[in-house]
Amino acid sequence: MPAVAARHAGHDAVDDLVRAGKVLYLGICNTPAWRVAQLQTIADLRGWSPLVSLQIEYSLVERSVEHELMPMARALGLGVMPWSPLGGGLLSGKYGASDLATNDAAGVAATRKGVIASTGLLNEASLRIAEEVKAVASETGVSAAQVALAWTLLHPAVTAPVIGARTLAQAQDNLGALDVRLDAAHVARLDAVSRPAPIFPQRFVERPLVQQLVFGGAAVEKRDR
């Protein structure tokens, strides 16, 4: 069976499960934006049950998904469920500069810190972000974890972060993020310290010459939908 036909047959079978009541809703995780968009478009054209959720890594230390996946999810009606919203514990203040030495392969299997180090997130840039999170937490009188989670919830595509609490106290603290209200100044600081570098085509179209060619010097107001 050709690859395209096989994919269609697979989606058709999943649609049958939804119609039979064996599956309530369909979600997808850790998949490129172009593939998710393709699946969603095929489902729409064929009248199949659509995907309703997207589970991806998203936090103040992992914002690269803002380039393609988050805008796609919002445009196509998928609720985003971020996993590792605390960056493996980095944003809770669990690690510091002394932990940067944990980058050897042996540590990966031996400790939780080794696992985080193996992801590449345990670095100086992430620790600077974590320090800003702690500063905002101190100023607002809440925990660092609550600040990090509250920031994640600000994105209009996010439905609910996937928390990984190990204890009741951690779960209660994480859920407290629902009551945290970050002011504009704090959000701006968190955005600034964690902002990912632009990629093509954003990097290209933001150049002054291209902006001049596109808008001819006219001021255009940008509004969210």
Going by C-alpha positions, the residue among 194, 178, 171, 184 that lies closest to residue 61 is 194
SS3 197: coil
For residues 31 and 122, give the distance between their C-alpha atoms in angstroms, rounded to a whole number: 24
Predicted structure pTM score: 0.84
CA nearest 145: which of 60, 54, 70, 57? 60
Cβ distance 133 to 147 under 8 Å?
A: yes
pLDDT tens by residue, 107-116? 555 667 777 7
Distance in angstroms (rounded) separating the CA atoms of residues 157 and 69: 10
The yes or no reply on domain 56-197 and CATH 3.30.479.30 is: no
Q: How far apart are CA 209 and CA 211, in angstroms?
A: 5
Q: Where are the domains of the chain?
A: 56-197
For 105-160, write each residue's pLDDT tens digit. 445 556 677 777 777 888 899 999 999 999 999 999 999 999 999 999 999 999 99
Confidence class of residue 7 from pLDDT cuts 50, 70 and 90? low
Cβ atoms within 10 Å of 20's Cβ, excluding its own: 8
| Averaged pLDDT score across all residues of the chain | 88
Lowest mean per-residue pLDDT among 13-17, 18-22, 98-102, 194-198: 98-102
> Residue 29 corresponds to which tokens in the numbers above?
């995780």
Rg of the chain (C-alpha set): 21
